[in-house]
């Protein structure tokens, strides 16, 4: 038993070291989180952060470049643009493209966000109210998905919003929630959604973090699906039950910056 405790302490120490190494302001320079960092009002932070997280796959330089193009077309006032835009204003996004996320997807996302801010109070109350029913982030993810598609949508666009009921890992949504919910003094995550306990967040699992987690013996499941997310998050809670997703920095940094 003492040997197991020893190994646990060694792993926790290693993850803590890597968390501190990568969870610092210098991380922002090359990460899509720099997009919502451009704004000060909560609504602008939420909307730009959600859109940045939505297209956060592929080369990070391209993600940032495409998000800047998107914000240019919103006059760098995302909340104001959503609230006051007319249908014809959305046509300027018709030729937008990021990998498989195209203009039709983009226009629907803006329409749906407009619906959420006009009729549901915004992203924060939508997530927080569903979470608070049973203090369960999984319920918030399901409620968000249902509300996002409560208006008419292109069938092709459904693939761009994760549905954990279909076992999706929901990497980008979990990353967005980390940005909005996690609170610390290190200057990366925002911590502006105080209605969700960061202890209940789930790990943003992708190819990089999954590979590192398996190499470290922290994840047994081979698929990057929701079952793997729950398994990995449970392991991270063993190391820090109050803030398990802080170790996303460690796994991501090892995978991307150190090719672990």
User: 157 with 209, same domain?
Assistant: no
User: 224 with 96, same domain?
Assistant: no
Per-residue pLDDT at 105: 98
Q: Is a pLDDT exceeding 70 seen at residue 24?
A: yes
* Weakest-pLDDT range from 58-62, 215-219, 227-231, 248-252: 58-62
User: 173 with 223, same domain?
Assistant: no
User: 62 with 190, same domain?
Assistant: yes
Predicted model pTM: 0.95
- Domain boundary, last residue among 152, 168, 197: 197
Identify the three-state secondary structure at position 206: coil
User: 208 with 96, same domain?
Assistant: no
User: 116 with 219, same domain?
Assistant: no
User: 208 with 231, same domain?
Assistant: yes
Per-residue pLDDT at 153: 97
Assess contact for 153 and 108: CB atoms under 8 A: yes
Tens digits of residue pLDDT in 138-156:
999 999 999 999 999 999 9
**Angstrom distance (rounded) from CA 202 to CA 248:** 10
User: 90 with 161, same domain?
Assistant: yes
Q: How many domains does the chain have?
A: 2
Identify the three-state secondary structure at position 159: helix
Per-residue pLDDT at 225: 98
- Domain boundary, last residue among 162, 182, 197: 197
pLDDT band, very low/low/confident/very high, at 222 (cuts 50, 70, 90): very high
User: 99 with 144, same domain?
Assistant: yes
**Chain CA centroid to CA 105, Å:** 18
Structural tokens at position 244: 């398990």
Say if residue 73 is exposed, middle or buried (CB neighbours under 10 Å; 0-12, 13-18, 19+): middle
- Give pairs for 190-196: CB < 8 Å, separation 24+: 190/36, 190/45, 190/49, 192/42, 192/45, 192/124, 193/124, 193/127, 193/128, 195/124, 195/128, 195/131, 195/132, 196/127, 196/128, 196/131, 196/137, 196/140
User: 92 with 184, same domain?
Assistant: yes
User: 85 with 149, same domain?
Assistant: yes
pLDDT band, very low/low/confident/very high, at 259 (cuts 50, 70, 90): confident
Q: Check the CA dihedral 114-119-124-128 and report its sign.
A: negative
**Angstrom distance (rounded) from CA 63 to CA 39:** 18
- Domain boundary, last residue among 150, 168, 197: 197
Which residues form the domain of 251?
1-26+202-260
- Mean pLDDT score of the chain: 96
Q: Which of 219, 259, 236 has the alpha carbon at shortest distance from 19?
A: 236
pLDDT band, very low/low/confident/very high, at 4 (cuts 50, 70, 90): low
User: 17 with 100, same domain?
Assistant: no
**Chain CA centroid to CA 32, Å:** 10
């Amino acid at each position: 038993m003492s040997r197991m405790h020893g190994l646990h302490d060694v792993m926790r120490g290693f993850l803590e070291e890597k968390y501190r190494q990568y969870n610092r302001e210098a991380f922002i320079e090359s990460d899509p989180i720099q997009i919502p960092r451009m704004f000060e009002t909560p609504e602008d932070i939420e909307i730009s952060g959600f859109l940045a997280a939505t297209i956060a796959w592929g080369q990070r330089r391209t993600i940032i470049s495409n998000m800047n193009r998107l914000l240019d077309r919103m006059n760098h006032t995302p909340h104001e643009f959503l609230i006051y835009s007319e249908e014809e204003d959305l046509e300027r996004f018709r030729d937008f493209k990021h990998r498989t996320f195209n203009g039709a997807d983009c226009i629907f996302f803006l329409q749906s966000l407009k619906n959420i801010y006009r009729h549901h109070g915004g992203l924060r109350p939508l997530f927080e109210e569903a979470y608070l029913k049973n203090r369960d982030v999984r319920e918030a993810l399901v409620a968000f998905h249902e509300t996002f598609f409560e208006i008419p949508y292109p069938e092709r666009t459904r693939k761009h919003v994760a549905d954990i009921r279909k076992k999706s890992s929901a990497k980008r949504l979990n990353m967005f929630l980390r940005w909005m919910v996690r609170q610390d003094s290190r200057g990366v995550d925002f911590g502006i959604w105080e209605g969700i306990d960061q202890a209940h967040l789930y790990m943003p699992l992708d190819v990089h973090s999954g590979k590192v987690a398996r190499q470290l013996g922290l994840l047994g499941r081979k698929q990057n699906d929701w079952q793997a997310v729950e398994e990995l998050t449970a392991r991270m809670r063993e190391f820090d039950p109050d803030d398990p997703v802080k170790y996303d920095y460690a796994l991501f940094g090892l995978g991307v910056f150190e090719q672990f």
